[in-house]
Chain A
Amino acid sequence: MNKMKLKLDKLINEGVENLSVEERRGFLKMGLVVTGVFAGGSLLSVTSNVDKAFASANQFAEKYPYKPHYSMIMHIDRCIDCELCKAACAETNKVPNYGFRTQILERPIPDGIDQKREFLPVLCNHCNVAQCTRVCPTKATYKNQQNGIVMMDTSKCIGCLSCQLACPYNARYFNEEKWAVDKCNFCFDTRLSKGEKLTACSDACPAGVRVFGDLSNQRDRVYKEVHTVSRTVWVLRPEAGTKPNVFYTRG
């Protein structure tokens, strides 16, 4: 009888690569993620996926470290590059015309039916593993410990531009008036700290592209959309390993 017993801790994980999408999805709907395949697929190991974001590929957030955990999800198929977001941002945060806190990029789609282009709004991703704050020699840029916003203390900035080089998202410019690097702070000083619920760009968007919210609140739209299994959600440059808090989706 002993020979029939499976020694579970000695089984070799055969990898989840060959598991069908349907099977994985079935488990996801039950709130489980398949982490291992054993004994020719007859045994699976699973773990709970509750409170995990699907967007960051293999780098699921175990939990959201901030409260509120400010985040944005971009519905990019709705972006028309009207740039009302940029105008509102510049006015609210006094961004000079040579600089930017947010930008709209354009990507041609030569094979598209009728639609031959797509616009991509970008801004600071307020990464959980921010490279800018890691390289800053004076701690002029830092993660706010409560809400996770990547902040700038302009009085400490020496203008070495290390943060610009470290940022995978080109989210920083040198502000000559402040003589310091300037960047998006989700309008923390200009709006959020004054009781406003939305950033200026999100508020100004006429097409509902920029949905701003709290990823730590399960009733928030950002949380719901990032955690919808049937919705494709992605982040920019996931290979940078920065765990960004700006998500992208369509529809």
Chain B
Amino acid sequence: MKRITLLIITALAAMLAFSAGLVAASDDGYPDYDIIYTEPVVGVVFSHTFHVEEAGMDCDSCHDGVFEMEAQAAQAQPDYNMLALSEGRYCGVCHDGDTAFDSNSRCASCHIGVIGYNRANGIEEAAHGGH
């Protein structure tokens, strides 16, 4: 009987520790899905996974100085466009041709377009009439 109680206590303690660990992970973790902007044009992709794991950036590389934590908050700003990027704001802080590729080049690296947006959201293309 004592052994069973001990087992239960150990299991409970393990569960507590595990859940605590989970909370901690989501606190300083990052979204593992792509953020896709829809303004000012549809279909501009940002991947936390790439920027952290491949490019080796930290949270405070962008947050909160360049981008707010809230996903897509930037696209509510009226100046969130290519002009701002070329002037060194938002993505343009790094994408200046020096730190990372110039935001004035390789357009379709980030612009996945309506096609990419629909694919990511599982939207089927409208059927074409007549064939």
Contact = CB atoms under 8 A, between A and B. Distances in A.
Interface stretch (B6-14, B17-25, B85-93, B102-110): B102-110
A173 B130 contact: yes
Contact of A173 (B108, B115, B131): B131
Given A114-B106, A115-B108, A83 B113 contact: yes
Interface size class of B (residues with CB under 8 A): 20 to 34
B41 interface: yes
A81 interface: yes
A173 B129 CA distance: 6
Interface majority SS (helix, strand, loop, mixed), chain B: loop
Interface of B: 41-43, 101, 106-109, 111-116, 126-131
Contacts of A206: 41
A106 B113 contact: yes
A98 B128 contact: yes
Interface in A90-119: 96-100, 104, 106, 113-119
A236 to B, nearest CB: 18
A80 B38 CA distance: 12
Given A81-B111, A82-B42, A117-B112, A98 B106 contact: no
Given A78-B107, A116-B108, 5 more contacts: A80-B108, A115-B109, A116-B109, A173-B128, A181-B130
A97 B113 contact: no
Contacts of A170: 131
Given A83-B42, A104-B114, A77 B126 contact: no
B107 A114 contact: no
19 contacts: A78-B107, A81-B111, A81-B112, A81-B113, A81-B114, A82-B111, A82-B114, A99-B129, A104-B114, A106-B113, A106-B115, A114-B101, A115-B107, A115-B108, A119-B113, A161-B130, A164-B131, A170-B131, A175-B129
Given A99-B128, A172-B130, A114 B112 contact: no
Contacts of A113: 106
Contacts of B131: 161, 164, 170, 173
B41 A82 contact: yes
A79 B129 contact: no
Contact of B113 (A80, A96, A161, A173): A80
A246 B113 CA distance: 22
Contacts of A82: 41-43, 111, 113-114
A176 interface: yes
A207 interface: yes
Contacts of B42: 82-83
A28 to B, nearest CB: 29
A33 interface: no
Nearest to B131: A164
A73 B64 CA distance: 43
A100 B128 CA distance: 7
Contact of B107 (A79, A84, A96, A172): A79
